[in-house]
Structure 1
């Protein structure tokens, strides 16, 4: 009942709300978040970490800079990492969505992960999407779904099984992957470009420390309602004005209708896990496979570093093998 009360309250707020602020649309790329910078910041508390770097695998074919959609004059790109010829037919696929607070970061962040996944027989794609310096919510959601549709439209040439497609995201990318993964039936969040004749439905979601709810009682945004941070820049509204949008963008809002298996890979940063346990409880009651893996004493960006990268890779491949068997 509490969730529905929030929705109703949000609708009331929306009547009196001001227009979406465009002051954050600078048109200038925000480079404040990068893997190298994150590494330097984490060394103080984790002096033993090693940033996982890109490497070439003999059996992986790389196709960088592919255009997956075009909106207006803007081309959107992804990089493809395809397993070499192997017996067994079509491969599963994972589209990888980077983090950076919906405002910074880029798809190169997860090239090492994509390379390792392809080496293990899973086609992987690192996806660009429009950040809040360029386009506000829900445009990034439209972009991610367009990438899914592109994959399905080109599945034959990519040797991908369209019944075995997963979305994976880290941090802000985890929120986007989760939201796109549970809203294929929500027309408002589909967008009107990029292979619109294909479905944006995916068969699994892997959420790496991504926000599951902006309005859950345990969420950082709920506990800091007066703070206008990266999420506010993305929405173009403070939470107090358009809580209906913050609710709409929360994957947890769609838990009741979800049938997609989830894997949560989480750091030891507790605030990133709001709603996760409640989500699993609901999925367990419905019989929807949900797995949670916690990485003890790890930073938010643990997925970029050893000693956590290899076990995380094992968790991902095991999850894919289980849900796509």
Structure 2
């Protein structure tokens, strides 16, 4: 996910607004060369907040006359950084196959709004996809969601809370549509805020976590109700969609135990769940190219009915074993 890292560096610059505009022009140019139609900055919440918008990537040449399944992509950044534009390259790659439409999902960051704003935004974005499915030639019943780190958390939450009215929110003009998704590709997402994301060398939990406190409005032990409600683990039920989770076993930012607990809970509930450990991998190890390959194979199987056996053999980290990017 080098494109996302480069984007975060860009976002720190003083002339970010101008550079973002230039970045969008580059995206449009690259999309045109790749035979992909791009619809940037589509508002889903009934306002002009730039964070409450989606970017849509559509193949100009489709491999089928049937409506396209959708892959919605949710960016990471600790709920305080990042932008959907960081997934533009992946969106173009997915759309150019001719088999999918891709949607980059924006959401309000914690400097603007705290939990449950992020859940409400992502659910409103999924409802927008369904509301516009007919005009865009999309299959409203085949929506996958992919996300890394904070985006993995929000993707997992969409997967497990499709039946939780309290998290639905009332944003936007499309509240009559469902926010359920049919497939989750989770890359190193936090799954249980009643447990720490990080641990010290002695294995003791580190509860002081600026990213988590920014999301919940305080450290997790001081916000037990919020910590429980914001945890995808809390909402696991037998009607959840299939999951595949990729996570580094030596991730020092979001401990591997988060992958283990969501996987175990989903399996116990009877949900199709796969776990692919990245041996000795840190937080950035999910950028391994095989993650995208297996993630897409899993999505192909669930959304397109392509029969295959998904390889869950642990991956070997490509970078320094404990490096967390």
> TM-score normalized by structure 1?
0.76
1:165 corresponds to which residue?
143
- Is the aligned partner of 1:94 residue 2:71? yes
Over 3 Å counting, the alpha-carbon distance change for 1:295 and 1:112 in structure 2 is farther
- Is the aligned partner of 1:252 residue 2:233? yes
What is the alpha-carbon distance in structure 2 between the residues aligned to residue 231 and residue 107 of structure 1?
Answer: 20
Over 3 Å counting, the alpha-carbon distance change for 1:156 and 1:278 in structure 2 is same
From 74, 83, 104, the equivalent of 2:49 is 74
How far apart are 1:266 and its partner, in Å? 2.0
Note if contact 2:72-2:146 (Cα within 8 Å) is conserved in structure 1: yes
Alignment of 1:100-119 (within 5 A): 100-119=77-96
How far apart are 1:264 and its partner, in Å? 0.8
What is the alpha-carbon distance in structure 2 between the residues aligned to residue 154 and residue 62 of structure 1?
Answer: 15
2:222 corresponds to which residue?
241
Note if contact 1:225-1:239 (Cα within 8 Å) is conserved in structure 2: no
Over 3 Å counting, the alpha-carbon distance change for 1:172 and 1:114 in structure 2 is same
Over 3 Å counting, the alpha-carbon distance change for 1:100 and 1:275 in structure 2 is closer
Alignment size in residue pairs? 275
Note if contact 2:233-2:265 (Cα within 8 Å) is conserved in structure 1: no
Note if contact 1:211-1:274 (Cα within 8 Å) is conserved in structure 2: no
Q: Which has the higher contact order (CA 8 A, sep 6+)?
A: 1
Note if contact 1:95-1:127 (Cα within 8 Å) is conserved in structure 2: yes
SS at match of 1:94: strand
Alignment of 1:186-265 (within 5 A): 186-194=164-172, 195-216=174-195, 219-220=197-198, 223-224=204-205, 226-265=207-246
> TM-score normalized by structure 2?
0.76
- Is the aligned partner of 1:59 residue 2:40? no
How far apart are 1:240 and its partner, in Å? 2.6
Over 3 Å counting, the alpha-carbon distance change for 1:266 and 1:260 in structure 2 is same
Note if contact 2:70-2:143 (Cα within 8 Å) is conserved in structure 1: yes
Over 3 Å counting, the alpha-carbon distance change for 1:294 and 1:114 in structure 2 is farther
What is the alpha-carbon distance in structure 1 between the residues aligned to residue 250 and residue 144 of structure 2?
Answer: 25
1:145 corresponds to which residue?
123
- 1:201-245 per-residue CA deviation (whole Å, 9 max, x = no partner) reads 1111111111111124x7438953541421101111222322121
From 262, 265, 285, the equivalent of 1:279 is 262
Q: CA RMSD in A?
A: 2.7
SS at match of 2:246: strand
- 1:242-297 per-residue CA deviation (whole Å, 9 max, x = no partner) reads 21210111111122445210011223443433232233334334442112223345
From 14, 27, 36, the equivalent of 2:6 is 36
Over 3 Å counting, the alpha-carbon distance change for 1:256 and 1:68 in structure 2 is closer
Structure 2: stretches of 5+ with no match in the other structure: 11-25, 306-325
Over 3 Å counting, the alpha-carbon distance change for 1:37 and 1:196 in structure 2 is closer
Note if contact 2:249-2:281 (Cα within 8 Å) is conserved in structure 1: yes
Over 3 Å counting, the alpha-carbon distance change for 1:113 and 1:210 in structure 2 is same
Note if contact 2:236-2:269 (Cα within 8 Å) is conserved in structure 1: no
Structure 1: stretches of 5+ with no match in the other structure: 1-33, 41-52
SS at match of 1:69: coil
